[in-house]
């Protein structure tokens, strides 16, 4: 759905993958399903978001999450904790949220301030409430192809790719970046789709050469504009997960991705923009995961 050609003067120009429009469609579908769920069980799905410290960028995301959670007909519970919060206090909150029947999903915003063990906190979230899919139970279930809750950003990428490409069997997918949050789970999801998957990371000798083999190229490194035109096979589908905030010479704030968009769009077949690509899909998938978690807890099964 909703692809438009980028208006570049150069010969070949990529179709733009409109993540913002796709996310709006997904959020509407979640809202309808939340209504149907409420009609069956008289239960409103609830999402708890925990933010420790005051990182301004995180505060923006967290506020957006709360607004969109309400729009989807779900309840949102915000927990803003001071930078000085101890690990024991944070684990105590997670424990209370685990036991609270009004909460179906728990997300602890990352990164946590120095001194707090993110692995330990993430693992303390009950697996059936782990809407980020980052705990060992959900991560392990993904690795062995069992149903579970999968991380929001890779899920958003996968939904965009399925919508654009349909059956991906046999396509070569190259994922640049191997984080537990994005690259690694996405590589497993693409493998389950039947793709041949290569993962490039910080120690990869010639990432450009590997990227050039890709039918599907996903970039999740956090290195702004890492991927240039000569990294991309003509006609490839390019998904840009990176978001870096920069300031232009005239003092305006601007978001840039991990892909040099203007030049890559002249060779790629399809490409996601930043902003308006993967970012909005992440939040829409968080809402979808919260409903899935509520179904798992109330109906005993994942949708
Ligand atoms: N436990 C955890 N789970 C996360 O999923 C998580 C996290 N921690 N920490 C921070 C990152 C970042 N993240 C984004 C979500 C939406 C946009 C988004 O909507 N971006 C808009 C632009 C928003 C803007 O203008 O700033 C876009 O790309 O169009 C971006 C980034 C989720 N994260």
Q: Is 164 a catalytic residue?
A: no
Q: What is the pTM of this model?
A: 0.95
Residue 301 has pLDDT above 90, yes or no: no
SS3 content of the chain, % helix, strand, coil (to 5): 40, 20, 40
The answer, yes or no, to whether residue 277 has pLDDT greater than 80, is yes
Q: Is 179 annotated as a binding residue?
A: yes
Q: Which two tokens stand for residue 248?
A: 């232009």
The finding on whether 241 has its CB within 6 A of some atom of ligand 1 is no
Q: Is there a catalytic annotation at residue 132?
A: yes
User: Active site residue: 130, 132, 240, 258, which one?
Assistant: 132
First to last CA, the chain: 23
Ligand 1 centroid to 16 CA: how many Å? 20
Give the chain's domains with CATH numbers: 42-127 (3.40.50.10860), 151-279 (3.40.50.720)
Ligand 1, atom 30, lies closest to the CA of 279
What is the DSSP annotation of 184-199? HHHHHHHHHTT-EEEE
Report whether the peptide linkage leading into residue 111 is cis, meaning its omega lies within 30 degrees of zero.
Answer: yes
Given a cut of 70, whether residue 137 has pLDDT beyond it is yes
Nearest residue by C-alpha to atom 18 in ligand 1: 279
Interatomic CA distance for residues 54 and 202, integer angstroms: 29
From the CB of residue 224, how many other CB atoms can be counted at a distance below 10 Å?
A: 17
The token pair at 29 is 């579908």
CB 37 within 8 A of CB 49: no
| Ligand 1 atom 1 nearest Cα | 109
**In the predicted model, what is the mean pLDDT of residues 284-298?**
98
DSSP result, 79-133: EEE-TT--HHHHHHHHHHHHH-TT--EEEE-SSPPTTS-HHHHHHHS-GGGBTT-
What was the ipTM of the complex prediction?
0.96
Whole-number Å distance between alpha carbons of 279 and 60: 13
177 is in an annotated binding site: yes
Q: For residues 190 and 72, what is the distance between their CA atoms, to the nearest angstrom?
A: 28
Retrieve residue 53's tokens: 């410290």
Does 202 count as an annotated binding residue?
yes
Long-range own/partner contacts, residues 233-237 (CB < 8 A, 24 or more apart): 233/267, 234/12, 234/267, 234/268, 234/269, 235/267, 235/268, 235/269, 236/267, 236/268, 236/269, 237/17, 237/161, 237/164, 237/165, 237/268, 237/269, 237/270, 237/271
Mutate to test the pocket of ligand 1, among 131, 243, 257 (most ligand atoms within 8 A of CB): 243
Q: Is the pLDDT of residue 188 over 70?
A: yes
Mean pLDDT of 33-45: 98
Is the pLDDT reported for residue 7 higher than 70? no
Mean pLDDT, the chain, rounded, equals 95
Q: Which of 18, 65, 129, 240 is catalytic?
A: 65
């Amino acid at each position: 759905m909703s692809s438009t050609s980028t208006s570049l003067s150069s010969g070949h120009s990529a179709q733009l993958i409109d993540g913002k429009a796709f996310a709006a469609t997904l959020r509407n579908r979640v809202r309808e399903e939340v209504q149907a769920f409420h009609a069956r069980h008289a239960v409103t799905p609830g999402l708890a978001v925990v933010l420790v410290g005051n990182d301004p960028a995180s505060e923006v995301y967290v506020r957006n999450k709360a607004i969109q959670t309400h729009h989807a007909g779900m309840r949102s519970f915000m927990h803003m904790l001071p930078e000085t919060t101890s690990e024991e206090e944070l684990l105590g909150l997670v424990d209370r949220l685990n036991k609270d029947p009004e909460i179906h999903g728990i997300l602890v915003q990352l990164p946590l301030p120095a001194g707090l063990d993110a692995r330990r906190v993430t693992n303390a979230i009950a697996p059936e409430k782990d809407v980020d899919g980052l705990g060992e139970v959900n991560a392990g279930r993904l690795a062995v192809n069992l149903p579970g809750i999968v991380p929001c950003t890779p899920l958003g990428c996968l939904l965009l790719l399925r919508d654009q490409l349909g059956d991906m069997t046999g396509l070569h997918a190259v994922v640049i970046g191997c984080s537990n949050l994005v690259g690694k789970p996405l590589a497993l999801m693409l493998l389950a789709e039947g793709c041949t998957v290569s993962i490039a990371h910080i120690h990869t000798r010639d990432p450009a050469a590997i990227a050039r083999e890709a039918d599907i190229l996903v970039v999740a490194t956090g290195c702004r504009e890492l991927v240039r035109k000569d990294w991309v096979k003509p006609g490839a589908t390019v998904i840009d997960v990176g978001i870096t905030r920069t300031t232009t010479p005239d003092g305006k704030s601007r978001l840039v991705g991990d892909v040099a968009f203007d030049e890559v769009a002249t060779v790629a077949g399809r490409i996601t923009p930043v902003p308006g690509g993967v970012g909005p899909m992440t939040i829409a998938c968080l809402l979808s995961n919260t409903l899935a978690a509520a179904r798992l807890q109330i109906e005993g099964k994942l949708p």
